[in-house]
Amino acid sequence: MSDFFSSGWSVFIAVATVVSLLACLALLVFASRRTQMADDNSTGHVFDGDLVEMNNPMPMWWVVLFVATVIFALVYVYAFPALGSVSGSLGWTSRGELKADQAVAAKDMAQVYAAYSSVPADTLSQDPKAMAIGQRLFINNCATCHGSDARGSKGFPNLTDNDWLHGGSPEKIEETITLGRTGVMPPMAAAVGSATDVHDVANYVLSLSKSPHDSIAASAGKAKFAVCAACHGGDGKGNAAIGAPNLTDGVWLHGWGEAAITAIVNNGKTNVMPAQGGRLSPEQIHVLASYVWGLSQPRRTAAR
């Protein structure tokens, strides 16, 4: 194993460690004796006329402690990976310690989650303790995009409004968390027609949710909406099976108003929810999904 440019560094570290250890002992021995003036216990050094350097010996227990630390170091060097790439007699590695710690944590966690894994989401979302776990999972894993209060932001769906792109049942939410989602809106400018057509369609889309719009343009755009209806449905209510959003409910994931809609129609949008299945266990995802599902239910239980 060469951690640096060559394994020579490993040898260098090993030699430096051993030499330093032995040098400490050698220094102790060499410095332990010195010439002293016989009759007055001084070293014969006089400073500033009257400041005499006396021989004031270190206590023996101090020396014993010093030697003990060197012996401890030698034992440590033998048992642990202290000499460059030498692995030490105990075979200890930081990676192995992490694995062992993780195994212990996984065992402890399994006990906690065992009580929840077979409980359905609507029951679980009434359990304050489970919801506290769910909230912590959410804060640590989801809040980065969806916000601490789960109300999302532009491009990141609000999870509390009971408006679901891919279905809002607890099972669907679990699926979304485990496998992730990719929402694709292709650029439709060419299919819709001219810039005026896009303007008309955008106003028609706004009219679906009774948002402020130009009603003449909207009625002109109604026919052009046919190309959108393939995914969003004739009535614009969307299609959860392919993640096509409902355009009639006044929830605007990528911005509110005509300009935002025009931009999406012209340029399209690919929006990704990354898969969490590799990072969280199925039991954790079950609790987390119950928490997320519970956020949009009328009867909310405060997490404690």
Partner 1 sequence: MAVTRRVVPIAVAATETVSLYASEEKIQPRTVHGWFASWRWTLVWLTQLVFYGLPWLQWNGRPALLFDLGARRFYIFAMVLHPQDVIYLAGLLIISAFGLFLFTAVAGRLWCGFACPQTVYTEIFMWVERRFEGDRQARIKLDLAPWSPRKLVRRGGKQVVWLAIGLWTGFTFVAYFTPARALVAEVLAFSLGPWETFWLLFYGLATYGNAGYLREQVCKYMCPYARFQSAMFDRDTLIVSYDPQRGEPRGSRARRVDPASIGKGDCIDCTLCVQVCPTGIDIREGLQYECIGCAACIDVCNGVMDKMEYPRGLIRFATQNAMSQRWSTRVMWQRIARPRVLVYGAILLAISSTFVWSLATRSPFKADVVRDRGALARMVEDGRVENVYRLQLMNATEQPQRLRVEVEGLPGATVHAWSDVDLAATESRWVPVAVQIPPQEASTLRPGAHPFAFRIRRVDAGADGHAAELHEKSTFIVPR
Residue 35 binds partner 1, judged by CB under 8 A: yes
Q: Which of 99, 154, 223, 235 binds partner 1 (CB under 8 A)?
A: 154
Closest separation between CB of residue 49 and partner 1, Å? 10
Closest separation between CB of residue 230 and partner 1, Å? 29
Closest of 25, 31, 29 to residue 69, by C-alpha: 25
Residue 1 binds partner 1, judged by CB under 8 A: no
Closest separation between CB of residue 141 and partner 1, Å? 12
Residue 24 binds partner 1, judged by CB under 8 A: no
Interface characters, 249-278, with partner 1 (x: CB under 8 A) = -x----xx----------------------
Strand, coil or helix: what is 177? helix
Residue 129 binds partner 1, judged by CB under 8 A: no
Q: Which of 33, 95, 107, 299 binds partner 1 (CB under 8 A)?
A: 33
Tell me the two tokens of residue 17.
């460690």
197-215: b (≥16 Cβ within 10 Å) or e: bbbbbbbbbbbbeebebbe
Angle at 181 between CA 251 and CA 114, to 5 degrees: 105
Q: Which of 7, 69, 102, 148 binds partner 1 (CB under 8 A)?
A: 148
Tell me the two tokens of residue 284.
């954790």
Tell me the two tokens of residue 178.
């485990």
Q: Which of 74, 112, 119, 143 binds partner 1 (CB under 8 A)?
A: 143
Cβ neighbors of 236 (< 8 A, separation 6 or more) are 205, 208, 225, 228, 229, 246, 247, 248
Q: Which of 26, 27, 57, 182 binds partner 1 (CB under 8 A)?
A: 57
DSSP state of 48: T
Cβ neighbors of 235 (< 8 A, separation 6 or more) are 248
Report yes or no: 288 and 137 within 8 Å, Cβ to Cβ.
yes
Report yes or no: 287 and 133 within 8 Å, Cβ to Cβ.
yes
Closest separation between CB of residue 70 and partner 1, Å? 15
Strand, coil or helix: what is 182? strand
Angle at 263 between CA 261 and CA 264, to 5 degrees: 65
Of 141 and 239, the one with the shorter C-beta distance to partner 1 is: 141
Q: Cα separation of 30 and 196, whole Å?
A: 95
Contact segment (CB under 8 A) with partner 1 among 3-11, 117-125, 139-147, 223-231 equals 139-147
Ramachandran sector of residue 41 (left: φ over 0; alpha: ψ -120 to 50; beta: rest): left
Contact segment (CB under 8 A) with partner 1 among 54-62, 104-112, 217-225, 277-285 equals 54-62
Of 183 and 250, the one with the shorter C-beta distance to partner 1 is: 250
Q: Which of 59, 94, 111, 298 binds partner 1 (CB under 8 A)?
A: 59
Residue 144 binds partner 1, judged by CB under 8 A: yes
Closest separation between CB of residue 43 and partner 1, Å? 10
- Tell me the number of residues near partner 1 by CB under 8 A: 40
Give just the sign of the alpha carbon dihedral 211, 213, 219, 220. Answer: negative
Of 147 and 168, the one with the shorter C-beta distance to partner 1 is: 147
Give the residues lining the site for partner 1 (CB under 8 A): 31-40, 42, 44, 46, 50, 52, 55, 57-63, 139, 143-149, 151-154, 156, 250, 255-256, 304
